[in-house]
A and B are shown apart, each in its own frame.
Chain A
């Protein structure tokens, strides 16, 4: 099956700092999403981004499908940004694979 690797696995930031999270995938995909999982387990959809660039407030994402990677940018981080960030890809075979995750801790 497809491999979806995220980096870094863990990240600690001072409040106000910027960060870039990366998602690499090993094969062609139909689409890609970024999620934030809160401490209660709820997966919050951040971006549906099979290709191109999108922005939503302090967050933005870029997917380069031809090079099989996606980036999530977090600017001016806040303590509420803490949690685990997952990318997930949908394969042509109708399977949905999550990445390995990045655990983000933002300290005041």
Chain B
């Protein structure tokens, strides 16, 4: 079903490092959002971008930041990685407010 692709699929980083996760959305999907899902938990909303501007944010610190590009791709950047940042990171996009989100398969980040 999904036209949303994420890379890489798995990643191991060291505490204190920085990481960039990438997402490529379906053409025409102007809204993209990112989520963190810890093991055994539901996904937690990080932020949402609409036409390259952040227009919604969850309860995450500023070291979680993002970018959305005109070609429907986006990035999630996390600085100063902590052990608790180990999780599955999901990207989702949609075509307008009256449509549902389509999710990618996620990037599994392990911080050691």
Contact partner of B45 among A44, A86, A96, A99, CB < 8 A? A96
Known A41-B88, A42-B2, A100-B42; contact A95-B100, beta-carbon cutoff 8 A: no
Interface centre among B35, B42, B43, B57 (most CB of A within 10 A): B42
Residue numbers in A under 8 Å from B42 (CB-CB):
86, 98-101
Contact partner of A44 among B1, B43, B55, B106, CB < 8 A? B1
Main secondary structure of the interface of B (DSSP, over half): strand
Contact partner of A86 among B43, B59, B98, CB < 8 A? B43
Distance in Å: Cβ of A69 to nearest Cβ of chain B: 18
Per the bound structure, the CA–CA distance linking A44 and B91 in Å amounts to 13
Per the bound structure, the CA–CA distance linking A43 and B88 in Å amounts to 12
Interface contact B33-A96, CB-CB below 8 Å: yes
Q: Is B37 among interface residues, defined by CB-CB distance under 8 A?
A: yes
Q: Is A108 among interface residues, defined by CB-CB distance under 8 A?
A: no
Contact partner of A94 among B56, B99, B106, CB < 8 A? B56
Q: Is A18 among interface residues, defined by CB-CB distance under 8 A?
A: no
Residue-wise, chain A 71-108 has the 8 Å CB interface mask toward B (1 for contact) of: 00000000000000010101001111111110000000
Interface centre among A31, A47, A99 (most CB of B within 10 A): A31
Residue numbers in B under 8 Å from A43 (CB-CB):
43, 90, 92, 103
User: What total count of A-B pairs have CB within 8 Å?
Assistant: 63
Interface centre among A41, A47, A93 (most CB of B within 10 A): A41
Per the bound structure, the CA–CA distance linking A88 and B99 in Å amounts to 13
Distance in Å: Cβ of A26 to nearest Cβ of chain B: 16
Q: Is A19 among interface residues, defined by CB-CB distance under 8 A?
A: no
Residue numbers in B under 8 Å from A35 (CB-CB):
103
Per the bound structure, the CA–CA distance linking A31 and B101 in Å amounts to 11
Interface centre among B2, B50, B101 (most CB of A within 10 A): B101
| A-B CB contact pairs (8 Å), 15 listed | A30-B97, A31-B98, A41-B37, A43-B90, A45-B101, A45-B102, A48-B100, A88-B43, A90-B97, A95-B58, A96-B33, A96-B56, A96-B92, A98-B45, A100-B42
